[in-house]
Amino acid sequence: MSRGVTQPTLQGMTHIPPPAEELRLIDAELWQLDARRAQLLNRRAWLVAALQPKWPAPRPTPGARAAASPRPEASAPSVQNLLLVLGGVLLTVAAMVFTLVSWGHLGIAGRSLVLGAVTVTALGAPLLLLKRGLRSTAESVAGLGLALTVLDAYALHEVAFAGASGAPYTALASALLAALWMAYGVLPAASALRLPRPAALVAAQLPLLCWAIAVDAGPYGLTAALLVTAALDTTVALRMSTASVRVIAAIGAYGTGAWGVLAAGWLTWSASGPSAAARAAALLLFASATALAAAWHGVRPAERRATDPDSSGAGWSTGLAVVSGLLAVAALGGTARSVLPELWTAPAHLAFAVALLAALRLDRLPHAVRRGLAWASGAVQALTLLWAVPVVGIVVLGPLSWASRVWTGTPSDARTAVTADLAWPPHSEAAPLVLAALAAVLALAVRDATWRPKALTGALGLSWAAALTLPAVLELPYSASLLIQAAVTAGLLATAVLLRRHLPALLLALVTSASLALLALASQTATLLVLCALIALFTAASWRLAPFTAPTALGYGAALAVATGAAADWPPAHTALLVLTVPAAAALLAWRLGDSKATVPVEVAGASAGLLAIALAATDPPLLATVLALCGVITAATAIRTDRRPVGYAATALFVLATWVRLSAWDVAAPEAYTLPVTIPALLVGALRHRRDPRTSSWTAYAPGLAVTLVPSLFAAWGDPHWTRPLLLGAAALLVTLAGARHHLQAPLVLGGTVLTLDALHELAPYIVQVTDALPRWVPPALAGLLLLALGATYEKRLRDVRRIRENLGKMS
């Protein structure tokens, strides 16, 4: 506050009591505050006392709880079970050590007394532990007791049956132990124990196998023991309700069953006669029946609950049904293999697989089982198809070898014709029968509306393969093979026409025709006749299948033209003229088709034939020029159509190429002869374009045509020692320059002026050299210095002008 404010003024603005009065006021206020605070504290204490029973216990924060009592890494039940298991294992090890190492320190009575007492104690203790509610401890002690019974059996063998063989004693001991453990597990007092019954089931896996070994039953007996054990395990797995017993039974069934099936399959494969094959087949049929029974029993509860074929029970049943069907086919097929010749092995398996489809008619079978049997039949049919595929591949691809030995001689039969460079698969004479049977199955067995079209398509392909392989399998004459393939091609084309562009039939027809054409290359007469027949077939089919068959007919027409020229001993260049009839026919056909979908494929086929003609005439320049000119004529005729006007550029290029080739054939070396045929049409096109659109740049309209002639001629003039070419080039460049100046066109003016200047420099070069030699040596550096000074002064003037403009703009702002 300013010092100019007087004391009377301050006293008038704020009333300040005397110090004694102010102290009295402060004490009164503090007394009131203390009284109010005491009142609030009393009220709070009453409220806390009234609400104390309803408040929840205070919860510690996560950090405090973690710090106070860390979470244990192992739960109490886990620790308990681990301790019990370790205790039981240690006691078992101790018992084994006692039995095996310390046995000799006791007499016969002591041994029996110790082992018997310990075993009885270990088996009886779980009953007492269960009454006290110590189930886990009871399980651990029961495991020790079961292990002690095994040691008792071993001790009994060492003491009383030392001379008995291991296999029979093991069979008897395991059977007794299984019975004892099962009886112990079903006792009312021990029914809560989960270990004895699964352990009894594990012990039950050994008796039959050890008994077969003891009686020297041979491979068939051992396999039968494994399969019977698997069947017993399957029965237990399906009948028992205890989960642990069912799991152990299922593991045993799958394990012993798999080994038994593998052994039976090997016995079937290696059977030396019908008797051995029949015994192996019986084993496989037993395994098949077991799997089928398991599938049937496994799906029935699921079907009773809900008719859902995709349930878990139905899924397992379907898999077991597949295994059952495959084992049945393998058993019956193995028996047939031992009786029939080897070539009938695949057909026999196929026959049994087809017979398996009869199970689909049995309504008593669950849906999942029927589906599994159908899949098993399909798997066998797929395997037989794979067996027949090599024969089909040889018949279709074998004719490719005739491309390198054209017209070398007619083969003796159809098989020789397709195996010129390939080996015929042994024992494959039944391939057509297998393919035909598969086709019949697809056509007759599949009735589902969704799969029916696909099945019919597959049947068509299989029937095609059967018909195609039949001549080679039967070793029919070569001509008969050609006739059959031609008939197959005609049939497929007819099918494609009747079924309205059936794509699979059309593709098969194309493949068959290509194979037929290659196969006909063995004979000149056959080649000509087959190509004529193929042209007729595909032309006849073009009224419905033109986008596919018309180009194919044109392709075979080109091949016929080449074959005709070769048959007449014409040179390839002369044959090219005959091939040109195909592009001409394609251009005419494309004009007739108009906007059809077949137009573009036909034009592509014609263009390909034209390229073939050019390639054939490449070795004869005069004829090549003729062929190029004819191709240009055909292309120009195509460009007459409104939608094919851009083809005119290709026609122009062909005419230019024809001209160049002709000039090259005449040994013409002047570049103008090659460039003027390009320049004149280019200038005409540019003039027309500039006339239609005056905004077109002269560089676009005239520069390409002028540059094509002026630039090569300029290079030629610089290397020409005579005066004629430079004079003519200068005159032409002068006319171009004057025309550009007359019509105010930049491109002719610049190109003509540049060429004229360079041509003049070429003519003046000798004189310039003479003048340069006559000048003193200091003149060129002086001229160069003057030039640099002039350039520097000009650059400085430009910088001054820029600076002045910038200053003026600054003043304006």
What pLDDT, in 10s, does the model give residues 188-233? 766 667 778 888 888 888 899 899 888 888 899 999 999 999 999 9
What's residue 771's pLDDT?
60
- pTM of whole model > 0.85? no
243: exposed, middle or buried (Cβ count in 10 Å: 0-12, 13-18, 19+):
exposed
97-101, 292-296, 770-774, range with the lowest pLDDT? 97-101
Q: How many Å apart are CA 564 and CA 507, to the nearest integer?
A: 27
Q: Which residue has the higher pLDDT, 75 or 692?
A: 692
What's residue 710's pLDDT?
82
Q: How many Å apart are CA 75 and CA 81, to the nearest integer?
A: 10
What's residue 600's pLDDT?
92
What's residue 805's pLDDT?
83
17-21, 90-94, 569-573, 770-774, range with the lowest pLDDT? 90-94
Once rounded to an integer, what is the mean pLDDT over residues 164-176? 82
pLDDT tens, residue by residue, 301-338:
544 444 444 455 577 888 899 999 999 999 999 999 88
Taking Cα atoms as reference points, which of 280, 161, 148 lies closest to residue 223? 280
Once rounded to an integer, what is the mean pLDDT over residues 7-29? 68
Q: Over 80: is that where the pLDDT of 142 sits? A: no
Query: What is the crossing angle of helices 572-579 and 599-616, to 10°?
Result: 160
For 501, phi and psi rounded to 5 degrees?
60, 50
Once rounded to an integer, what is the mean pLDDT over residues 511-540? 95
Through-space distance between the first and last CA atoms of the chain, rounded to whole angstroms: 51
Amino acid (one-letter) located at 704: P
Q: Over 50: is that where the pLDDT of 100 sits? A: no
What's residue 659's pLDDT?
84
Q: Which residues contact 311 (CB under 8 A, 6 or more apart)?
A: 302
What's residue 307's pLDDT?
46
Write down the residue that tokens 């859902």 correspond to: 308
Q: How many Å apart are CA 373 and CA 363, to the nearest integer?
A: 13
C-beta of residue 338 within 8 angstroms of C-beta of residue 277: yes
Q: Over 50: is that where the pLDDT of 74 sits? A: no
Taking Cα atoms as reference points, which of 350, 359, 477 lies closest to residue 412? 477
pLDDT level of residue 474 (50, 70, 90 thresholds)? very high
Q: How many Å apart are CA 559 and CA 571, to the nearest integer?
A: 15
Q: Which residue has the higher pLDDT, 329 or 694?
A: 329
Q: How many Å apart are CA 694 and CA 686, to the nearest integer?
A: 11
Q: Over 60: is that where the pLDDT of 97 sits? A: no
C-beta of residue 370 within 8 angstroms of C-beta of residue 359: yes
What's residue 509's pLDDT?
94
Q: Which residue has the higher pLDDT, 173 or 99?
A: 173
What's residue 512's pLDDT?
95
Query: In this structure, what token pair is assigned to residue 735?
Result: 């006319």
Q: How many Å apart are CA 337 and CA 403, to the nearest integer?
A: 41
pLDDT tens, residue by residue, 720-757:
777 777 888 788 888 888 888 888 888 888 888 888 88
Cα-Cα-Cα-Cα dihedral of 483, 489, 494, 496, to 10°? 170
Query: In this structure, what token pair is assigned to residue 214?
Result: 């003891």
pLDDT level of residue 52 (50, 70, 90 thresholds)? low
